[in-house]
Each structure stands twice: as C-alpha cells, then as structure tokens.
Amino acid sequence: MIGGKTEALFQVRTVTQNVIGEQVPEWKTVQSLTGFLDLSGGDSRYTVYDAKIQESTHIFLADYKELDEAITAESSRVLIGDTVYDVMLIDDPMEMHRQLELYLKYTGGQEHGSHSD
C-alpha cells in the first residue's frame, strides 16, 4: 500500500464557445487521487525508455484506482496544490492493479480562472 497525503486533481480539457463564437478551452476536474509526488531525474543514461518518460519532470505514485474514462495522457492535466502538470504517461505497472505511476511535466503555477470544479 502506497498511501500518501498529496492530492492530485485530474482535469480534462473541454472546449466551449463564447458569445461571439470563439472556441474557449476550459479545464474541468473529473477525479482526485492521493499519493506521493517526487522529482524525477531527467538525465537518464538509459535511452530505451519512452520519450514521454524522459520529458517528465516529476512522478506521482498512488495506490491503484480505476480512472475516469475521460482521463488520458493526451487529454488531461493534474493540479497539485497551485501547480499545473501535463500528464505525460499513466502507468499501471505490469497491469497488476496495485499502483499507478503518473509521469508528469511541470508547466507552472495555476492560472486564475483556468479550471472549474
């Protein structure tokens, strides 16, 4: 059991239209997960790893929990505190359903008004 006290909020990007017909991206929180956030070393000498893992700056470890079907690495981001991370890869090691490893890329502080709950 991993446990942990850090809450990660999964957000999925949706697009709405404003009054003049422009497409406006919006982030909606769809699920939360509790675990541990750790800094990932980006200078691995092992080049056989997927490029997305090499680009990641952090890893979030959590006990296994089935994720909402809308959550994919391509369509979601994670908020941890006031910090935004792009989801690079979601891994259920060996598909054993014991833990989740989220490879994240730091993108900066939260933008005001960029998410809704």
pLDDT of residue 27: 93
Backbone angles phi, psi at 93, to 5 degrees: -50, 125
Q: Determine the pLDDT at residue 33.
A: 94
What 3-state DSSP class applies to 59? Answer: strand
**Sequential DSSP letters for 36-50:** EEEE--S--S-TTS-
Rounded Cα distance between 26 and 76, Å, is 11
What average pLDDT values come out for the chain (117 residues) when binned by 10 residues?
85 91 92 92 50 76 94 93 92 88 86 49
Domain ranges of the chain: 6-110
pLDDT at 113: 44
Judging by beta carbons within 10 Å of its beta carbon (0-12, 13-18, 19+), is residue 6 exposed, middle or buried?
A: middle
pLDDT at 40: 79
Between CA 20 and CA 94 the distance in angstroms is: 48
pTM to 2 decimals? 0.77
pLDDT for 59 equals 92
Tell which residue, 60, 58, 73, 61, has the closest CA to residue 106.
58
- Show the tokens assigned to 87: 């989801």
Token pair for residue 61?
């470890």
- Give me the pLDDT at residue 43, please: 52
CATH topology of domain 6-110: Thrombin, subunit H (2.40.10)
